[in-house]
Chains A and B, each alone.
Chain A
């Protein structure tokens, strides 16, 4: 997994690319650390360039959600498609996250 960050009006958008798997713990740690930075009210995880996700990475997205909630940040998942969309549907992520196309 690779990620890049761009500012949006009230926070940050993190664009993830490649495959999100159990081996990406260090990348997720960097992303979750961004939630500690002051000033953001809204965080968008852009998943449109993610081709595959496993359940360990789903768990790490949920950890990001817990951290966001504790900081009063709203976390939005954007652009999930293919296998990523299917596995998030199975995991009922729509009940936990705001999801945008």
Chain B
């Protein structure tokens, strides 16, 4: 059976790459050949944009990568020739991932501009929830009152540089089929209870709109892993 080719980007030590390939059963790709999995160290937005403009890779994983980056989502990305991004929160937070993912989506599937705008809005909400409330573990209640907003900003800035929070993974798996696109967003936060999100937000509410937007815009929404995994399906 052919082994999945793995390539390391700038900043990834050759020895780490060899160890990973050996432990996980991947082959090492040369820079001249396309690799299904690309391991990159602290990628910035421009680098991610350039990587995602080609296909393969089917998975872009930030190094150093924890074991869970090589689990079920990677398997599904490779099997379906989809796209998995597995990044630290520190990397994902400021990379404006939504616009990168939507550009990848536009390249790979023929959606109307209006439907792409729906996908963009819903994916953004899912990423915001996963990174701010999930991985950084910051309650949206701190955005309710101007008196608390300084505290909210300080907390976000502090946690983006605190390894226990900043290193938590955000994973996005996109898969395409004739029926449309599925986007799964996974975080490592404490999860949430979906029953808290059933009520429609008040007009003046500063938070709580995200999930109702997702529900309105996606064709189907599935929540798993106690709220740590949200899958949105979008028909064309």
A residues lining the B interface (CB < 8 Å)? 19, 21-23, 25-26, 28-29, 32, 52, 54-56, 58-60, 62-63, 66-67, 70, 82-83, 86-87, 90-92, 95-96
Contact = CB atoms under 8 A, between A and B. Distances in A.
A52 B96 CA distance: 11
Nearest to A56: B128
Interface of B: 93-94, 96, 98-99, 117, 120-121, 124-125, 128, 131-132, 140, 143, 145-146, 149-150, 152-153, 156-157, 203-207, 209-210, 213, 216
Contacts of A91: 203, 209
Nearest to A67: B146
A59 B207 contact: yes
Contact of A23 (B93, B149, B213): B93
Contacts of A22: 128, 131-132
Given A55-B125, A87-B213, 20 more contacts: A21-B98, A23-B96, A25-B152, A25-B153, A28-B149, A29-B153, A54-B210, A56-B132, A56-B207, A58-B209, A59-B140, A59-B205, A59-B207, A60-B143, A66-B145, A66-B146, A83-B120, A83-B121, A86-B117, A95-B203
A62 B206 contact: yes
Contacts of A70: 146
B143 A52 contact: no
A49 B206 CA distance: 23
Contacts of B210: 54-56
B118 to A, nearest CB: 9
13 contacts: A21-B98, A25-B149, A25-B153, A29-B150, A29-B153, A32-B146, A52-B98, A54-B121, A54-B124, A55-B128, A55-B213, A56-B128, A58-B209
A63 B128 contact: no
Contacts of B120: 52, 83
Contacts of A62: 204-206
A66 B88 CA distance: 34
Contact of A59 (B121, B143, B213): B143
Contacts of A52: 98-99, 120, 124
Contacts of B93: 23
Contacts of B207: 55-56, 59
A54 B117 CA distance: 12
Contact of B203 (A54, A56, A87, A92): A92
Contact of A90 (B124, B131, B152, B213): B213
